[in-house]
Amino acid sequence: MLEVLYEDNHLIAINKKTSDIVQGDKTGDTPLSEKVGLYLKEKYNKPGNVFVGVTHRIDRPTSGVLIFARTSKSLARMNEMFKSKTNLKKVYWALVQNKPSKDKGRLVNYLRKDTKKNKSFDCEPRANGAKEAILDYSIIAKSDKYFLLEIDLITGRHHQIRAQLSKISCPIKGDLKYGFARSNPDAGISLHARKIEFLHPVKKELIVIEAPVPKDALWNYFEKNV
């Protein structure tokens, strides 16, 4: 069942679950792009195929706001917005067990993607394939064992948040690939695309979309105590 967060004639935003994939891959699982198309087809009783364009992506084990385009015009404009980072702000929440050395700060690293391992590694600026990765973070809540970080993503690199937090010895809860000790029960990681703010590609008005956290006791605790 899709959790629709926003919908108009140009865009549709859903709250992605950790088990969902955005586009088809080798697993053969039904991607969200197809599920959204079926939802629109049934809701509006549309004959034939329904246009659904992927404007951006979220890692499979990550949850949160995901926007699809309903027209080719809005797809092209949203793709450009996500690429240029103009008129766009993405905010993530991450649960970590280790407290960062500072309550808030900016992380700047150079990351290199290893396609075979599907992982990004910290590297020297001049290394082959190196790309600058920048994010701002702040601790906004804590429990007995975990800290909730709010992250303002400045750049958009492959596995950026996961790699950069791992680099400061704060791997995300459940993220075995980047150094956390145990997996989460749902095989996802505790990284949530909490909010996206952007200028609507057609209406030219500010749109703010916020995604409720996953239905999980720890996430629910933090959402209530921020």
Q: Output the pLDDT for position 49.
A: 85
Q: Which residues contact 57 (CB under 8 A, 6 or more apart)?
A: 22, 23
**Residues of the chain scoring pLDDT < 70:** 24
What tokens were used for 225? Answer: 């105590």
Q: Which residues contact 102 (CB under 8 A, 6 or more apart)?
A: none
**Structural domain boundaries in the chain:** 4-225
CATH architecture of 4-225: 2-Layer Sandwich (3.30)
How far, in Å, are 19, 96, 135, 174, 222 from residue 218 at the CA level?
18, 12, 24, 13, 6
Which helix or strand (DSSP H or E) is residue 88 part of? strand 88-96
Q: Output the pLDDT for position 26.
A: 72
Q: Which residues contact 54 (CB under 8 A, 6 or more apart)?
A: 22, 23, 33, 68, 69, 75
Which ranges constitute the DSSP H helices of the chain? Answer: 32-43, 72-84, 160-167, 217-225
Enumerate the β-bridge partners of residue 192.
63, 93
Q: Output the pLDDT for position 193.
A: 98
pLDDT (tens digit per residue) in 140-193: 999 999 999 999 999 999 999 999 999 999 999 999 999 999 999 999 999 999
Q: Output the pLDDT for position 63.
A: 98
Task: Say if residues 113 and 128 touch (Cβ distance below 8 Å).
Answer: no
Task: Say if residues 70 and 11 touch (Cβ distance below 8 Å).
Answer: yes
What tokens were used for 120? Answer: 């990004």
Task: Say if residues 190 and 62 touch (Cβ distance below 8 Å).
Answer: no
User: What secondary structure letter does DSSP report for 172?
Assistant: B
Task: Say if residues 207 and 88 touch (Cβ distance below 8 Å).
Answer: no
